[in-house]
Structure 1
Amino acid sequence: MIKTLSGIACAGLLLAAAPAGAQALENPAEAFGQRPAVTSIALSPSGNRVVYLSAGSGEETYAYVADVGSTSPSLVTMTDGDPMEFNWCRFVNEERLVCSIYAMVQDPRQIYPITRLFAVNDDASDARTLGQRDNAFRNNRQFDGEIIDWLPEDDETVMMSRVYVPEAYRGATRIVDRREGLAAVRINTRTGSIDSVEPPERLNVRYLTDGHGTVRMRATGSIRGATGMAGSTTNYYYRLQGSDEWHDFGSYDGLENTGFYPIAVDRDLNAVYGFERLDGRDALYRITLNETLDRELVFAHPRVDVGRLARLGRRQRVIGVGYSEDESVVEYFDPEYQALHSALSSALPGNPNITFLGASDDESRLLVQASSDTEPGRFYVFDKAAGALNEILLARPQLEGVQLATVRPIRYPAADGTMIPGYLTLPPGGGETGLPAIVMPHGGPESRSVLRFDWLAQFYAHQGYAVLQPNFRGSYGYGDGWLVTNGFQSWETAVGDVNDGARWLVSEGIANADRLAAVGWSYGGYAALQSGVHEPGLFKAIVAIAPVTDLPALRQDSMAFSNGRNVSEYLGSGPHLVAGSPARHADRVAAPVLLFHGDQDINVDIGQSRRMHDRLGDAGNSSELIVYEGLDHGLRDSAVRAQMLERSDAFLREALGL
């Protein structure tokens, strides 16, 4: 479907309105649980083609290539999730792709992730791996690396950071590859031939290029003494323009969030963009890569953190900066894109959020996503010269024409008078008083809820629940003061804010006090369970997906990974570890509990849910644990998500007397 835009400054576009009338869903759990039809999408160098990933049944994911305007995409390849799963695919040229895949691997000691990069033609021919080759003499190579520069000037070549693992003893031969660490290489995606750009070094963790094939910055990690575990500090180095010599740039501490964190190098400005704290909030700075490292504040917000850069095209040109207060906003540096964003946002139905996802190499064609709280996502290709906006894909076609719930920002008072921000989703077309209600704390804990389509909240609202998503203290995005120590060390504050949200729903008449439930994923599941410990009886039902339940055990689990010491410091030490562990106080939980967990979860070990389930059983409390074999923290399986939604809805209805 092609619609025309007469000019950047025009008042609006005449696009087809959303279908009239609400479509009934035969199986709501299946419709909302289905993973998106577009999970990753990219535009070709000419802007005439797109490559996208689409979820199939279960864990299947398909990679398609399509000509813009065509109704017949071509299947390139697929993953079945056993064990490999797609991350993304991008164009090298009009016919050649690079894709990233990952898997969870289990050895006798632990489960760990691996990633691989490969190139393939759009007709599935001439597939080639891009990482270091495996052989019998090399220890397991966990990661391949990543693409750090798409080199638009080179037709078949990309620049990647490449992980090298040394070979072990080969017996009689002395020919042993002892290269170790992260290198930067140019690699021909057809032939596999490699040109070294930066040699591998064991402590290297990152490279930044200028988008034109020149490495301007690198980073090294820190090691904690003789433990061999990673430290929290990353040290950065830079090069002057036209020089090969490295100079000290500074360091960034990821645990303390101190120092400058580089994001993108701008060749034309000879500068690097990055984030650093200003008055307790993340702000965007630009530092010139000269002898004096001249610094300039680009953008800061007086109330919230600046959270992301808006970048465009294969060169990843910086065009703006984003932040989220009640709504997500991008401040564009480029006046053309500011004007285009305003025109599209005003003209498209429902005033959706507009995101520029990609561009042809000459930026004459743009890949655009339009979305909102009630619009899961529509994808367009915009032709600047023709003023044509071509709608190509829907993120969730199974929800097209379905009446979805609107989401509104709210504030409610905590016990100490602090106003807690959050989002309220009410059933579409239903009442607004005396409803069964769900408080749904987000994961992280240093994450946050934002105003957008949320498949979990939308499903429960569709089923008749009011859903409150609080950005409790401990959430990211509101500055250091809001983060407190973190949601684990300061659990009493974070969980108290969650519980105060439930009381607010009742005081406003939105919720029935006898029909309150808590539902959460990861830290959100932890907060839901700890709410049941902190104030037994407030919630009449608790659903926890992949939750943390025992903080000392979480700290011990983390020691199997290289960042274990960082996790240990993040959790801290002291009485809060036991007091903040719901599995150690399961006898206080009055509400029935439903737990879901994948048995290949490395974020939160399944032992956390098993421990909670066993302790609840020992205390004589109602508990059910559903384990999904072969799945990790995200439960990226459409059939599993549908089953989880259906079972949780039935559980809540029974527990709340609906």
Structure 2
Amino acid sequence: MKNLVRAMLLASALLPAAAMGQSKDAAKFGTREYIEQISLSPDGTRVAMIEPVLGRGSALVVADVTTGATKVVLRSSGAPDRLRNCHWASDTRIICNVYMIQQGTEKLPFTRMVTLNADGSDLKVLSSRESSSALEIMQFGGTIVDWGPDGSNGSVLMTRDFVPEYSTGTRLANTQEGRGVELVDATTLRRKTVETPRQGALEYISDGHGAVRVMGVETANATGLRTGHIIYSYRTPGSRDWKRLAELTETPTGSVGFDPYAVDRDLNVVYGFAAENGRSALYSISLDGSLTRKLVFDNASVDVDGLVRIGRQRRVVGVSYATDTRVTEFFDPELKTLRQALAKALPGKPLVTFVDASADESKLLLFAGGDSDAGTYYLYDKKTRNLGEVMGSRPQLADVKLASVRPISFPAADGTMIPGYLTLPAGSDGKNLPAIVMPHGGPGARDEWGFDWLAQFYAARGFAVLQPNYRGSTGYGDAWYQKNGFQSWRTAIGDVNDGGRWLLKQGIAAPGKLGIVGWSYGGYAALQTSVLDPDLFKAIVAIAPVTDLEALRTEASGYTNFALVDAFIGHGAHVREGSPAQNAGKIKAPVLLFHGDQDLNVGVGESRLMASRLRGAGKQVEFVEYKGLDHQLEDDTVRTQMLDKSDSFLRTALGLPARP
């Protein structure tokens, strides 16, 4: 197997050195993955990769997959600009999405699309220009709908949010409002409106060959707030007339209706997800005018939640779902055979994802990894049948023996078996260990089998780690999701606590050596577990946690999604009873909080409130606030500090000896 990118890449020289007193493990696991995102040029000769720059920055690196030559062509500081994704518009032109947070009375996220040559020259803003006479701000700079009529000529179909302009004294002001679609040349910036803007338009789906076939428009209430009710329309081939396709409504307990994802031009159908026996399944609906609906794939135990697509036209080739592990079912016979061959060629890396392809699909960019393997990017040439390594995701862990992850289940108090994953320190017998329960974020999410940098770090430090998919998680159907993890918090948090009790009963966790760590909703769960059972966990680490449901509701006031957030949180006794900041006096264990002050998911004020309430109740708490960072804390140095500090905190609280 030949290594295609042989040159030392940007990030590989930027592993942060451990500061005095910090563990080398913290530096290795705290460093972000070396390829944050990658794409393949239409001719299959080059890759464009977003790589981290030490600290919080990123760089776009273009590499020749034959010679291994690399060049940094674009940089972002991470303060506030961040490169989110970059793709090839043609063999010589790249389009990137830049994300930033604008400061002011309210913190607002902004995006802009930029375009540049593969050598870094001729950098331009691809998003439409804002007018000085605009009546509103243009927050989002568009998304790519399709790569133009033939997929590689450098023109793109992209959304545009049209903003009306102040018109006094001129007849040239724009009066259009809403989201539309433009055909834009990525080099000359020539643009043509192909879908006139509509108020409430959220989504446009093309056929992969330059024709928009599906549109989703969300209704608004009398005050202009979002309702979560989307009406989808479609076009028959060659027509410009819109016809009713389906409806989708977002509710506190999940989505109801048909959610379209992709159009197959040749079959003349749209693929999407809808409920089947209380679980998500893949359906197709004919776009010939008959609206013939067919069940394409379902699973009797879990939600079918992934549509597998490939190539410049993003054609549908399969479907995926997660039981104990992620399973992919290929509709495409060639890819199904290739997947089986790759399983033999890449032992220990059963999780294979096709990331990108050349325009003719003769070359495939793929990622393969596992539980104890952080994964590697490869390029497969169908003609030569050569599989070449591009680069590992986390080469800094090459000399670290990673832990295996085992699917398990444990009984909740009511007898329900709760699925989850257990990670034990490499070489351990799995008994009498310090242990951590690590509930996932969301709550509309779930953990899956595979590499997890947080769980692997704590395992490397000697902890057993349990990741429960408590009731309130997605992936297991409507009944499992219940009312959601906030309105049904007693069930969700009860399951998390029962996971801790199971670790103790099985002898995996040593008596008195049980802690809990969580991020986002997981941080909320970590705090709220001690409200239900103050004596179970002896240490609590909460990263960017929700701490007060009423505060979370207030954070959404003034935004168009307020009605949705309000309904999701709900009203009633659970709001106060389910808020750890309102019940701080019940918490006995010492608490360590981390939060970024630019967090738009969960405001930093929630951790500030939690720390204040705990101190007021005479509890032990430490709060670390990071300046200029959002919910993900995307900074190598900060993540390293956070890992090291949390490890030291857990060891002290659980009475464990220090480790280098």
TM-score range, shorter chain: over 0.9
Aligned partners of 1:442, 1:62: CA distance in 2, in Å? 29
Letter in 1 for 2:66: G
The Cα shift of 1:176 comes to: 1.3
The answer as to 2:241 corresponding to 1:245 is: yes
Partner of residue 74, structure 1: 71
CA distance in 1, matches of 2:306, 2:112: 26
The farther-off stretch of 574-583 and 134-143 is 134-143
Match of residue 12 from structure 1: none
- Displacement of 1:528 after TM fit? 0.5
> What's the offset of the Cα at 1:132?
1.8
1:74 shift after superposition: 1.0
Report the Cα offset of residue 131 of structure 1.
1.5
Q: Is the 8 A contact 1:167 1:178 kept in 2?
A: yes
1:86 to 71, 83, 87: 83
Q: Residue 154 of structure 1: CA displacement? A: 5.1
Change (3 A) 1:106 1:3: closer
Q: Give 1:185's aligned residue.
A: 182
For residue 64 of structure 1, what is the aligned residue in structure 2? Answer: 61
Letter in 2 for 1:127: L
1:163 Cα offset (Å): 1.2
- Cα distance, 1:431 vs structure 2: 3.3
Is contact 2:523–2:543 with CA below 8 Å preserved after alignment?
Answer: yes
Indicate the SS of the match to 1:133: coil
> Corresponding residue for 1:196?
193
Give me the whole-angstrom Cα distance separating, in 2, the residues matched to 1:427 and 1:280: 37
Q: Which amino acid aligns with 2:610?
A: M
- The aligned runs of 1:131-150 (5 Å cut-off) are 131-138=127-134, 139-150=136-147
Residues 458 and 153 of structure 1: CA distance in aligned 2, closer, same or farther (over 3 Å): closer
Structure 2 counterpart of 1:419: 417
Residues 131 and 163 in structure 1, CA contact (< 8 A), matched pair in contact too: no
Q: Does the CA contact (< 8 Å) of 2:302 and 2:477 recur in 1?
A: yes
CA distance in 2, matches of 1:560, 1:181: 19
- AA of the residue aligned to 1:179: Q
What pairs with 1:214-613 in structure 2 (closer than 5 Å)?
Answer: 214-225=211-222, 227-255=223-251, 256-613=254-611
Q: Does structure 1 conserve the Cα–Cα contact (< 8 Å) formed by 2:151 and 2:359?
A: no
Q: Percent identity?
A: 48
Pick which of 343-352 and 382-391 moved more: 343-352
Q: Is the 8 A contact 1:69 1:390 kept in 2?
A: no
**Post-superposition offset of 1:174:** 3.5
Cα distance in 2 for partners of 1:72, 1:60 equals: 22
Query: Root-mean-square deviation (CA), in Å?
Result: 1.4
Aligned counterpart for 2:107 among listed residues 88, 94, 111: 111
Q: Is the 8 A contact 1:442 1:524 kept in 2?
A: yes
1:2 match: secondary structure? coil
Matches within 5 A, 1:13-32: 27-32=24-29
Residue identity in the other structure for 2:229: T
One-letter identity of the residue aligned with 1:64: V
Question: What's the secondary structure of 2:599's corresponding residue?
Answer: coil
Query: How much has 1:149 moved relative to structure 2?
Result: 0.1
Is 1:635 paired with 2:650?
Answer: no
| Whole-angstrom CA distance in 2 between matches of 1:183 and 1:130 | 15
3-state SS of paired residue (2:295): strand
What whole-Å deviation, never above 9, does each CA across 1:109-131 have from its counterpart, x for those lacking one?
A: x1121111111001111112121
Tell me how far apart the structure 1 counterparts of residues 250 and 143 of structure 2 sit (CA, whole Å): 21
Cα distance in structure 2, aligned partners of 1:603 and 1:289: 38
Q: State how far apart, in whole Å, the 1-side matches of 2:154 and 2:350 are.
A: 37
Give the 3 Å change call, closer, same or farther, for CA 46–510 of structure 1 in structure 2. same
Q: Is the 8 A contact 2:372 2:450 kept in 1?
A: yes
For 1:24-63, list aligned pairs within 5 A.
27-63=24-60
The residue type paired with residue 583 of structure 2 is H
Report the alpha carbon displacement of residue 302 of structure 1 after superposing the two structures with TM. 0.3
Contact 1:3 1:388 in 2 (8 A): no
Amino acid at match of 1:416: D
Where do residues 3-14 of structure 1 align in structure 2 (5 Å cutoff)? none
| Cross-structure match for 1:17 | none
When residues 242 and 172 of structure 1 are mapped into structure 2, their CA distance, relative to the original with a 3 A threshold, is: closer
Secondary structure class of the residue paired with 1:254:
strand
Deviation at 1:529, TM superposition (A): 0.2
Find the aligned partners of 1:511 and 1:71 in 2 and give their Cα distance.
48
Take 1:366 and 1:283, find their aligned partners in 2: how far apart are those partners?
Answer: 28
Q: Answer yes or no: is the 8 Å Cα contact 2:349–2:373 preserved in 1.
A: no
Residue in structure 2 matched with residue 14 of structure 1 by the alignment: none
Q: For residues 151 and 314 of structure 2, what CA distance do their matches in structure 1 show?
A: 14
User: Shift of residue 560 of structure 1?
Assistant: 2.7
Match of 1:8 in 2: none
| Contact preservation (8 Å) 2:91, 2:152 | no
- Cα deviation per residue 1:366-421 (whole Å; 9 max; x = unaligned)? 00111111111101100011010110111111111310011000000000000000
Secondary structure of the 2:455 match is helix
Shift of 1:135: 3.2
- Determine the C-alpha separation between the residues in 2 that align with 1:654 and 1:105: 39
Give, as a single letter, the amino acid of the residue that structure 2 aligns with 1:46: D
Q: d(CA) in 2 for partners of 1:407 and 1:431? A: 14
Change (3 A) 1:465 1:153: closer
CA–CA distance in 1 between the matches of 2:351 and 2:203?
Answer: 32
**Match in the other structure for 2:2:** 2
Deviation of 1:572 after TM superposition, in Å, equals 0.9
Instruction: Give the alignment of 1:148-163 within 5 angstroms.
Output: 148-151=145-148, 152-153=150-151, 155-163=153-161
The answer on 1:165 being equivalent to 2:163 is: yes
Unaligned 5+ runs, structure 1: 5-23
Q: In the alignment, which residue of structure 2 is the partner of 1:650?
A: 648
Instruction: Report the 3-state secondary structure (helix = DSSP H, G, I; strand = E; otherwise coil) of the residue aligned with 1:644.
Output: helix
Contact 2:597 2:627 in 1 (8 A): yes
3-state SS, counterpart of residue 145 of structure 1: coil
SS at match of 1:240: coil
- Give the counterpart letter for 2:294 in structure 1: E
Distance (whole Å) between structure 1 residues aligned to residue 234 and residue 528 of structure 2: 46
Cα gap change, 1:154/1:345 in structure 2, threshold over 3 Å: closer, same or farther? Answer: closer
CA distance in 2, matches of 1:474, 1:456: 22
State the alpha-carbon separation in 1 of the partners of residues 351 and 345 from structure 2: 11
Cα separation, 1, equivalents of 2:95 and 2:219: 31
How many residue pairs match? The answer is: 636
Distance 2:588 2:633 in 1: 28
User: How far, CA to CA, are the matches of 1:72 and 1:657 in structure 2?
Assistant: 51
Aligned residues of 2:371 and 2:405 also touching (Cα < 8 A): yes
Cα deviation, residue 513, structure 1:
2.6
Cα displacement string for residues 495-528 of structure 1 (whole angstroms, at most 9, x for unaligned residues): 0000000000011110013011010000000001
Contact 1:274 1:284 in 2 (8 A): yes
TM-score (norm 2): 0.95
The one-letter amino acid paired with 1:123 is D
> Does the 8 Å contact 1:216/1:238 carry over to 2?
yes
Partner of 2:119: 123
Residue 295 of structure 2 aligns to which amino acid in structure 1?
Answer: L
Contact 2:473 2:485 in 1 (8 A): yes
